[in-house]
Amino acid sequence: MNRDLPAHIAIIMDGNGRWAAERNLPRIAGHSAGVSAVRKVVEECARLKIPHLTLFAFSTENWNRPQEEVGGLMVLLDQYLKKELNTLMKNKVRLTTIGHLEDLPDNVQHTLRDVVKRSAGNEGLTLTLALSYSGRDDILKAVRGAARAVMRGDLSPDDIGPETFSSFLYTRGIPDPDLLIRTSGEQRISNFLLWQVAYTEFWVTDKLWPDFSSEDLHEAIETFRSRERRFGMTSEQVKGGKT
């Protein structure tokens, strides 16, 4: 059994729209309730001393949603960052982002850069927001980065192993997720961290994201801790500590 706490939890926060529909509310009300769930989970991960939390806040595909919803999400993100800055600093949370930051409205980019800069020295939880993120784009970006390094003569194609390749991804410096949580019962990866989840443990709950609580987070972590991670080896090898 793996008793360690996950060093990196990644979350696909799904079901905000359904949460709102169940209450005859506009979709943005679901996202607003989703922000409260984000706040709780960030604080709990900081309290548990989890080193990394990555949240899938906005995918490249989400740009295709109605303009009103996209605009509302950008406002919520900006408000969250401004309102939470003090709490993030108090809890020693360091903010980082992955994805096409340049696609976001200028004011949101500005707020993000400001919080990233101010929190850069914090040594507690690293909170990574995936914004305008696509797992396939991340891999393509890494391929282009490695190809450029080869063309410059800085890298030999034979030296491109998993570690070198990872250093060209948006997530460079961040360990691969140990645990991936998805809410709302959907069992798919939706173009999230495709390369990075090679050996990640998945945990899915039927709860919609705005209803996700600290207790659900604890349940996910306890389930993770009860699983045996074999990384392609046999159970006997893992138990014997053989690598």
Cite the active site residues.
14, 62
* 226-239 burial: b if 16+ Cβ within 10 Å, else e: eeeeeeeeeeeebe
Shortest approach of ligand FPP to residue 136 CB, angstroms? 18
Instruction: Give the 3-state secondary structure of residue 110.
Output: helix
Structure tokens belonging to residue 116 = 């990233």
User: Strand pairing of 94-98 and 8-12?
Assistant: unpaired
Binding of ligand FPP by 142 (CB under 6 A): no
Shortest approach of ligand FPP to residue 138 CB, angstroms? 18
Q: Mention every residue, 6+ apart, whose C-beta is less than 8 A from residue 137.
A: 60, 100
DSSP notation for 69-106: HHHHHHHHHHHHHHHHHHHHHHTTPEEEEES-GGGS-H
Structure tokens belonging to residue 5 = 């706490």
Instruction: Give the 3-state secondary structure of residue 182.
Output: strand
Shortest approach of ligand FPP to residue 55 CB, angstroms? 5
53 in Cβ contact with 9 (< 8 Å):
yes
Beta bridge partners of 96: 128
Among 129, 146, 179, 217, binds ligand FPP (CB under 6 A): 129
Binding of ligand FPP by 16 (CB under 6 A): yes
Span from 14-22, 45-53, 145-153, 226-234 in contact with ligand FPP (CB under 6 A): 14-22
Instruction: Give the 3-state secondary structure of residue 41.
Output: helix
**By C-beta, is 83 or 227 nearer to ligand FPP?**
83
**By C-beta, is 111 or 200 nearer to ligand FPP?**
111
Span from 44-52, 72-80, 115-123, 232-240 in contact with ligand FPP (CB under 6 A): 72-80
Q: State the binding string over 88-117 for ligand FPP (x if CB under 6 A, else -).
A: ------------------------------
Binding of ligand FPP by 191 (CB under 6 A): no
Binding of ligand FPP by 13 (CB under 6 A): yes
**By C-beta, is 24 or 235 nearer to ligand FPP?**
24
Residues that bind ligand FPP (CB under 6 A): 13-18, 31, 34-35, 38, 55, 57, 62, 76-77, 80, 129, 184, 209
